[in-house]
Structure 1
Amino acid sequence: MFSQKIVLDLSFNRRIQESQNYSRPTITLAKLIRSLPKLLSLDISGTNLAGAFSFDQNEELNYIKKELSIDENENFTIQSSIAGLLLLKHELEFLGLFDVDEKGSARRWLPAKKITGEHTEQMIMTSLSYYMERPSMLTHIMAHLFRLYNHYTIQNPYDAGKLVMDGMEKHLYDRSLQTSGSACLYYVVDLFQNESDIMLEKYNNYLKRLLITILNAMNAHLQHSPMIRNGLLTISRMQMHVPNHIMSAFEQTVIVLIKFIQLYLNECVVHEQILLHNALSVLNHVACSVDGQEKLFIGQAGAIETAVGIIRRFLIKKTSCEIVEVAWTLLWNITDETAENCRRFIEDNNGLQTFHDCLDLWSDKRDLVRNMLGLLGNVAEVKELRHYLVNPSHMEKFRILLKRSQDNEIEIPYNCGGVLANILSDGIEAWTISSSIEQHIVNQEIYDSVQTWDLRRQRTINYRSLAPILRLLNENYSTGCIMWAVWAMTNLTTVLPEKYCTLVRNENGEPLLSQILHSDKVSEPIRNLAQATLANVQRFYDAPVPMDIGPNDGLEI
């Protein structure tokens, strides 16, 4: 009965168990081969049964015949660089040589149709497929695959990536496997950076599966720093090379990122701060890529209270301004033209107190202050929330920041001016602090400050719509309010005409500007800016379209 056996598995995984070192590996293997004439599949992975790397086949065969008392006239025709296999009567269907001693899989003659091992890419691919049910082996194999990705020598990166995803999906709760697999998938994403749109469309389902595989791995191992690091790096790479594909699992991406940040906030995990910074940055990048309902979803998923919580934690520590800065950037982006998120920040999370506390501690951090004021600008665009800003304490800080200018930098005064302009647009009846600060004084301060700004100054702000500014182009509003709005329009259409001249026309800004231009209620400096903006738009649309004429277009000269 033993002679009928056709499959023999003697493999060990050296990562989880100590393999048996056979004292006479060649003779031991030869005995097995002799006793199993119908053997089709043999796995000696993780053992020393491959024997010595170098030998003379004829001498070794004669030695084996003598040791096993085989007639010296019996013929064996199989060529094999593993001495113990010289007694084979036919080629094997399968031979497992992964992680064997003496570079078993690197030898010249290996008598099998399919071979597992680490010497070639094909062997590694076969290993991934063959050992799919053995997670510890898969983890070891993925480490070898990673080297091919890392050195950019892999020939079939997408097929290998599919096998990696197969393994990760099958063994979700194996932490080591998920970490090794995610490291490979990072490089798979990297290979898409120069692909055409046609190719990206072809791999649409592949990339969606890859993203979901990474997110599932992160969600299952939120307390494992290497897995979280790999996951964040991979998603960041996708945002860089294939940004549209993040939307294929938008909600899951948001939920997993917020879940990780909340665990960090609640001190349920111990990770390096850089992972928190990276998670906030990735979530912020997602927020920058979406509008309307998607931004609302990010707020509903807990991003606002989580970001404010992170800020307050580092306020207590008085450290890590960089993390606080990216948290404010996230808040700025998810409140953009999203009134409900603005309300969550102000009413549900005591956002204005957080603003004051940060300003008191980090008033010298220019980018941080800019981001905070950008968020308050979003709040100020929501009529129902503006009354929260009309407060003597807030107003004094706004007035100071309005006049703050360093190295001709206008981001802080500009954002602050936007907050104040929106407040002024509600008129004198909404100005409930006249006993402390008179409205006309603030109005004049805005009017005067705006005229000192450089119209050609490039800025970091990115408007998806000009509607919040166009709303302020009303001849019946206060002069400071109108001045800020027309300056913004002139600056934007001067610095980035391709984007903003188009928006002015598409959003019907020209009639509003014309009304300001011809109004006798506004000052000459305001009319001049309105005229300059209209001229920018007209110049942009009147510019001749360049013709691309090649040398063989058949023109006669």
Structure 2
Amino acid sequence: MQTEESCPVALTELCLTQVCLSLDSLCSTGPDGSLRLHWATLLPQQMADQILYKMAAQGTLNDRTVSIFRSCEQLRLRKACIRSSLLSADAFRHALCLHRLLALDASRVSGGLTGAHILSGLAFNPECRGSLQSLTLTGVQMGWESQDVEERAQAGFSSMQGLRILNLANTDLTDPILEDICTLPQLEWLDISGTPITELSALLGCRRTLRSLTAHSLSQLHMSPSRLLSVLSRLTALRHLDLSDDRSAPYSADFEQDSEVDEAVRLLLEDGSGILPALVSLDVSGRKRVTEGAIEAFVQGRRGLVFLGLLATGAGSCDILSGRDNLKVTGEASERQICESLRRYRERECFTREALIHLYQLTNDMDDQTRPDLLKLVLAGMQNHSESLSVQLVASACIFNLTNQDMAVGMPHPLLSAVVHQVLKAMRSFPGHQQLQKNCLLVLCSDTILQEVPFDRIEAAKLVMNLLNIHMEQTLQRMAVAVISILVAKLSAEQTTQLGADMFIMKQLLGIVQQKAMAGVVDSTLKFALSALWNLTDETPTASRHFIQCQGLELYEEVLESYYTESSIQQKVLGLLNNIAEVDELQDELMDQGLMEHVLSLLQGPRVEVGVSYFAGGILAHLTSRQDAWTLDGTLRHTILEQLHAAILTWALPEREMVSYRSFRPFFSLLQTSQPAGVQLWAVWAIHLVCTQNSVLYCCLLQEEGAVDLLKNLTSDLNTHSDIKGMAERILVTGLSLNTATRGH
């Protein structure tokens, strides 16, 4: 069974995205800079709504692009979403108000567009006055002061006679405007949460039609508990009521008002079924006087109840709730209540944080089971409140608990990819908060995420590298360097070049190597740093040049001498020096008599492992391959070539993978028939090594890059040494056989 996260993106979604990204090529530009679509075909109506929604979601909807909707003959809008878009009043009126809209979501619009502009623009179209059924203005400044009394009367809410749903949460709604709203003849759903309303008596004007009232966090409400309850009790059609309070600020200034609403809530609960008998949904989360006894009285009197909001009340563990399977409850008493809280309160920062805290406590004791359902809820909380440090902090801790160890293995990769994207966004948004950075780093320290999940590894490497600027405990420093090491190894040659261009990264990694070398320790942090530097300079001349400019060569010579008994350290050091030796213009930096003699001593010996010998041989092969560039004693070059040939013949193929290559191109110059035998033999042995360890990958690479022709030239040249010719022939037989088998398959 496929989960939602593992399913491929719908074709419609891909097409819509492409249309939004290609508007410039699909449109002509008018004298004022506005866009007009080239085609004259009338698109299906729903498609027009979807294009507008996608433009708003991608952040590409503005005065210039919204003009494609000026032509109702091409794009007919019915349900328009311009959420969080940057639009002027003129652009809104001329592009969107010409349509016969059924619904408009203008939440958090900016660019000077106010609620007054929106209403006057809609009222400008007589059809909209009767057709518009749903209007959402969450977080929009109303801007009534810019209109005179006559304009306000003509373009007020009451002019939109078809309105059934109205959302004015977190606006500067006033009592007189609420009175105007409550004269609407068909109003069924009203949200006035977070507004400076002081009186709710105006609601009596729509008492026969209002079915849903959301009125949480009314900090300036001035009504006695009895008066408030009296007004609510007369809303006879009301089925859904939200009187919750999720304000995170201290309650000092609003204590009296909070107490009045809390007392009204208590009276409502304790009355049982006497008040608002048709109520099927009640949210009192965050209220201070909710008791288990009051909840029991309320639930017992209402068999048709389908939802009860009790988060941050402490009353979610009431016994009567456990026996009502059809009743959804938000709270902290169980996983089910916590998940319901995360679903219900996605847009409410304080409640999201509260639910995540309880989820974190729950996941601390959870068995190692894969829970994509929980991870998806946490991700939604992070995405909806990406600017909230408190949410990002607890959400990142939850993500670590849900992806730690083997729990990430069974997670859908698209879901994990989205999680990593959000984690990186959190790291970028709060660079100075060490605990959040630690949480995010812990999330990234997952083999499944680092090795298998697609995400921006360059950005991740840079963000993790920035952590090394902060004083960090040894465990976290080790993890950071380990993550960087793995990330760099997974980059393409082009990506490595891009990352290697940042000298800061080189300095940071070399600083760690120097710190460890001065202390004389051998630990995983040192090994990871050496591996990261090795991978960073692989076929990357810029990074190799930065390595030298940052005095890396002098440091590595010291490390070679200090860690002469540590084969794993020597192999990583020599591997990086081999990368530098591959760059013609940097070879002169390695022309040091003492260094060459030291590297030569590592070619063979009873205590020298083949991995150390191999990379020492690579350095010597590259440096001696260009006789015209050799600046040291000629006798030393002759000695190196003789000993290189002899040493290679003693090497045995290692049982485990010792090295990997992105390309065989660095070997091309070494495989020329004019090269000395020792140089040729090292290159052929290197190709033989990797083709033996991973025949499918490297034998195909031989064909693709043209290395087969170079090997054939060696085997056919009469001057080629028999040792080289025999090994080259074995490679060709293996490669050609595999290629034939692959084609046949």
Shift of 1:111: 11
Corresponding position of 1:257? 464
Shift of 1:43: 1.6
Q: Displacement of 1:286 after TM fit?
A: 1.9
Contact 1:355–1:372 (CA under 8 A) maintained in structure 2: yes
Shift of 1:509: 2.1
Question: Which one of 608, 614, 620 corresponds to residue 420 of structure 1?
Answer: 620
Q: 1:504 aligns with which of 683, 699, 702?
A: 702
Deviation of the 1:241 alpha carbon: 7.3
Shift of 1:366: 1.4
The corresponding residue for 2:382 is: 165
Aligned residue identity for 1:394:
L
Note the C-alpha offset of 1:233. Answer: 3.1
C-alpha displacement of 1:419: 0.6
Residue 41 of structure 1: SS of its match in structure 2? Answer: strand
- Identical positions, percent: 22
1:98/1:116 contact within 8 Å kept: no
How far the C-alpha of 1:472 sits from its partner, in A, is: 0.5
* TM-fit CA distance, 1:492: 2.8
Q: Is residue 299–residue 305 contact of structure 2 (8 Å, CA) maintained in 1? A: no
Aligned residue in 1 for 2:7: none
Change (3 A) 1:159 1:539: closer
Match of 1:118 in 2: 332
Residue 179 of structure 1 corresponds to 393
Query: Does the 8 Å CA contact 1:48/1:101 hold for their aligned counterparts?
Result: no
Is contact 1:254–1:283 with CA below 8 Å preserved after alignment?
Answer: yes
Deviation at 1:28, TM superposition (A): 9.5
Residues 452, 257 of structure 1: alpha-carbon distance in 2 compared, 3 angstrom cutoff: same
The letter of the residue matching 1:215 is: L
What one-letter code is carried by the residue in structure 1 that aligns with 2:420? L
Measured in 2, the distance between the counterparts of 1:31 and 1:543 equals 79
- Answer whether contact 2:295 2:315 (CA < 8 A) is retained: no
1:345 is displaced (CA, Å) by: 0.8
- Counterpart residue number, 1:96: 310
Per-residue deviation, 1:488: 1.8
Match of 1:41 in 2: 282
Instruction: Please state how far the C-alpha of 1:343 moved relative to its aligned partner.
Output: 1.0
Query: What CA distance in whole angstroms lies between the structure 2 residues aligned with 1:532 and 1:494?
Result: 10
Looking at structure 1, the residues matched to 712 and 349 of structure 2 have their Cα atoms a distance apart, in angstroms, of 70
Q: CA RMSD in A?
A: 3.9
Counterpart of 1:354, as a letter, is L
Matched, 1:211 2:211: no
| 1:327 is the counterpart of 2:529 | yes
Superposed, which structure 2 residues align to 1:237-256 within 5 Å?
237=446, 240=449, 243-246=452-455, 249-256=456-463
1:349 aligns to 2:550 (yes or no): yes
Tell me how far apart the structure 1 counterparts of residues 703 and 744 of structure 2 sit (CA, whole Å): 22
**3-state DSSP of counterpart to 2:446:** helix
Cα distance, 1:155–1:533 mapped onto 2, change above 3 Å: closer
Is contact 1:193–1:242 with CA below 8 Å preserved after alignment? no
Unaligned runs of 5+ in 2: 1-226, 234-240
Give the counterpart of 2:633 among 412, 431, 434: 434
Give 1:532 deviation, angstroms. 2.4
* Larger proportion of helix: 1
Mapped to 2, the partners of 1:300 and 1:505 lie a distance apart of 31
1:193 alignment partner in structure 2? 409
Q: Residues 87 and 537 from structure 1, CA distance in 2 versus in 1: closer, same or farther, beyond 3 angstroms?
A: closer
**Post-superposition offset of 1:379:** 0.6
Report the CA distance between 1:300 and its aligned residue. Answer: 2.5
> Which residue in 1 is equivalent to 2:94?
none
CA distance in 2, matches of 1:484, 1:451: 10
Per-residue CA deviation, residues 36-65 of structure 1 (Å, 9 max, x unaligned), is 93486342547573236xxxxxxxxxxxxx
- 1:223 is displaced (CA, Å) by 5.3
Select between 127-136 and 507-516 the one with higher mean Cα deviation: 127-136
Question: 1:364 offset after TM fit, Å?
Answer: 2.0
Aligned-partner Cα distance in 2 for 1:471–1:106: 81
Q: What do the CA deviations read for 1:150-188 (whole angstroms, capped 9, x no partner)?
A: 4448583354134322354141x22xx323211333466
What residue number does 1:70 align with? none
Q: 1:42 to 1:442 in 2, by over 3 A?
A: closer
What is the deviation of 1:392?
0.7
SS in 2 for 1:115: strand
Amino acid at match of 1:243: E
Alpha-carbon distance change, 15 to 187 in structure 1, aligned in 2, over 3 angstroms: farther
| Deviation at residue 130 of structure 1 after TM alignment | 4.5
Whether the 8 Å contact between 1:50 and 1:83 is mirrored in structure 2 is: no
Within-5 A mapping of 1:534-553: 534-542=732-740
Which residue of structure 2 aligns with residue 339 of structure 1? Answer: 541
Q: 1:405 to 1:50 in 2, by over 3 A?
A: farther
Any idea what SS the aligned residue of 1:438 has? helix
Q: Which residue of 2 aligns with 1:63?
A: none
2:684 paired residue number: 486
Q: CA distance change for structure 1 residues 304 and 44 in 2, over 3 Å: closer, same or farther?
A: closer
Shift of 1:410: 0.6
Is the contact made by 1:97 and 1:116 (CA closer than 8 Å) also made in structure 2?
Answer: yes
Q: In the superposition, relative to structure 1, how do residues 527 and 286 fare at CA in structure 2: closer, same or farther (>3 Å)? A: same
SS in structure 1 at match of 2:386: helix
Within-5 A mapping of 1:268-283: 269-283=470-484
Q: How does 1:145-164 map to 2 (within 5 A)?
A: 145-146=359-360, 147=362, 150-151=366-367, 152=369, 156-157=373-374, 159-164=376-381
> 1:314 aligned to 2:555?
no
Q: 1:76-114 CA distances to partner (integer Å, 9 max, x unpaired)?
A: xxxx86236656798486432445158238733679965
1:307-332: CA deviation from partner (whole Å, max 9, x where unpaired): 11221223333335421221111111
